[in-house]
Structure 1
């Protein structure tokens, strides 16, 4: 039986929606939100009615009847740490999304909008594999100081969707597989996936792991500590150094990797060196988490938008192919991943988890 699902993915400056009939995409829409539109809102939460009305306008323009829906799914936001899977949006989840229990981000609106659209229909709302998926094993939580515990924040939705896709291609299941997966995008996260769980991963929002187009990754801590006490330095400035103004942005003023590659083609030696260093740091992180598998690894998977760069994936692959075979699965289709998680629940292949 084919189930009709509306998937909603709110981003910082856009809202994407799609309607699926089973695995088949019926249509997809993207609404861009300008700075002028969003600056009128005091908070992420206050954008809810604005974004919901935009979605309804697009659906009406498509002559789509909401009564056709079997479920609505939204991008999972910054909730309390939880295991991977598809979760029904509960009253407690709504409260935690509203207050931003683990922080404020546009993705917090995903579950809230899904709930508001599904309730009048008598249908259920879901989220799938939010960024706060935490499946770390005890040894992976240890930081090196008792006052600081490592936490798991990463691109869980794409990690797990890609893992399931590659597992099918290898004629097995995610739950039976042993992968190291590197999501290569504006942020970079590298995880050890063992038998259906991400048992170790760098905190992609917390100053860990490889640097990326706009994030600094792991910095020399003693040097960073000194900069914290420089005159005029603020917590906000330090945060921007880590996220938004780190990585390639700090070196070249851009997070556009196509521009960096054009510089390399024009014989820019500095661009070539920094590009190579980013690939090296990704490879080093892959090698680090590979120790969990003791040589018994099914594949290393490179995914995300930057995995479309042949130059970058070749450089990473050359450094890690001795560990295991490397599979390139470029891009990240978050709406499709949201739909797949919901379809598994509707088809009773998987049980929705309680938050």
Structure 2
């Protein structure tokens, strides 16, 4: 099965051609700020991104002859996880998405290319996957509801791969998946559904290399109304300029971990504190699963760090076996999902949000 994968990022477009789960060709590039500055809205980049993809395929001598095209999901309305055939409602919601990001173009381009070569077009496990149980949504302020935004694609892909290695199905297991990257998400996966997870983007859960995580509400309210910051600056504290970068001036975990291992402060103290917040979130998800847990999976780029994994192990390894699946292979995860759909091993979902 030949599967073409499209993954548009804010300043890049990544492409890959797989034969089943084996990558045959991987390509892509960063787009300069000068190139992108011509466009006032991400939707205006559609032709530019599509032409870029077609040009790279032509240069590599790859014809439009695929068994499936799959794209990164985009910022759709909340929807359960799974593989989705791209439909007209999905395309409408991506074109009119409340959150503007280049990933919203992936499904639009995938659908057009798939029509040209007469194959199905899919997305899988977008960032807005929402399977949270009702009790996980409410907060003490009725106007503020908890939102499910996390590393759904990678978290579900590593869960399925772990299940397959164990000769089981994802839907038969209870797992805690800890994605350790620029943002950190810790999700409780119960029988194939993520019943609780922190909002890994906008200020909840562990702090991370770039994000503030949960912070004391009263002190934050005073900071917001101190007159020192505007709304844009405050939101940047939560996402982009929070976490390790706020404390240490860098989000380079490799360097920070090396200094921490040598006992150098403030690097060790701050990194250990971040990992402590991760461990506490694992404990919360253990409660969400009522202690019925098959494994804790550590994934994402930071899971390559022996120091970080070691510190985490000391705090959580008594809860369940620790499974290490480092990195974030978005392209492989997308191909894995497309192949499962083509083989009938993964049911096709229909995008029809409430």
Q: Normalising by structure 1, report the TM-score.
A: 0.96
SS in 2 for 1:218: coil
Render the CA deviation track for 1:59-80: whole Å, top value 9, x for unaligned.
11110000x2122111001101
Q: 1:350 aligns with which of 335, 346, 351?
A: 346
Structure 2 matches for 1:78-227, cutoff 5 A? 78-101=75-98, 103-227=99-223
Deviation at 1:143, TM superposition (A): 1.4
Matched with 1:33 is 31
- Counterpart CA distance in 2 for 1:52 and 1:280 is 44
**Aligned Cα RMSD in Å?**
1.3
Q: 1:341 aligns with which of 334, 337, 354?
A: 337
Matched with 1:60 is 58
- Counterpart CA distance in 2 for 1:229 and 1:11 is 34
User: Would you say the 8 A contact 2:257–2:305 is kept in 1?
Assistant: no
Deviation at 1:122, TM superposition (A): 2.8
User: Would you say the 8 A contact 1:31–1:54 is kept in 2?
Assistant: no
Deviation at 1:265, TM superposition (A): 4.8
- Counterpart CA distance in 2 for 1:261 and 1:340 is 32
User: Would you say the 8 A contact 2:261–2:307 is kept in 1?
Assistant: no
| Greater shift in the superposed pair: 91-100 or 191-200 | 91-100
Render the CA deviation track for 1:323-350: whole Å, top value 9, x for unaligned.
1111111001111111111111111222
Structure 2 matches for 1:311-322, cutoff 5 A? 311-322=307-318
Matched with 1:13 is 11
- Counterpart CA distance in 2 for 1:40 and 1:230 is 37
User: Would you say the 8 A contact 2:176–2:286 is kept in 1?
Assistant: yes
- Counterpart CA distance in 2 for 1:144 and 1:124 is 44
In structure 1, list runs of 5 or more residues that go unmatched.
none
Render the CA deviation track for 1:10-51: whole Å, top value 9, x for unaligned.
112211110111122111112111222222221211122111
Render the CA deviation track for 1:287-313: whole Å, top value 9, x for unaligned.
111012333210111100110001001
Render the CA deviation track for 1:121-150: whole Å, top value 9, x for unaligned.
232211000011000011111212222211
Whether 2:63 is the aligned partner of 1:76: answer no
In structure 2, list runs of 5 or more residues that go unmatched.
none
- Counterpart CA distance in 2 for 1:230 and 1:292 is 37
- Counterpart CA distance in 1 for 2:178 and 2:277 is 11
- Counterpart CA distance in 1 for 2:224 and 2:113 is 45
Matched with 2:279 is 283
- Counterpart CA distance in 2 for 1:50 and 1:314 is 45
Q: Normalising by structure 2, report the TM-score.
A: 0.96
With over 3 angstroms needed to count, the CA separation of the structure-2 counterparts of 1:163 and 1:335, relative to structure 1, is: same
User: Would you say the 8 A contact 2:83–2:124 is kept in 1?
Assistant: yes
Query: Which portions of structure 1, spanning 4 or more consecutive aligned residues, are displaced by more than 3 angstroms?
Result: none
- Counterpart CA distance in 2 for 1:59 and 1:247 is 40
User: Would you say the 8 A contact 1:191–1:198 is kept in 2?
Assistant: yes
Q: How many residue pairs are counted as aligned between the two chains?
A: 351
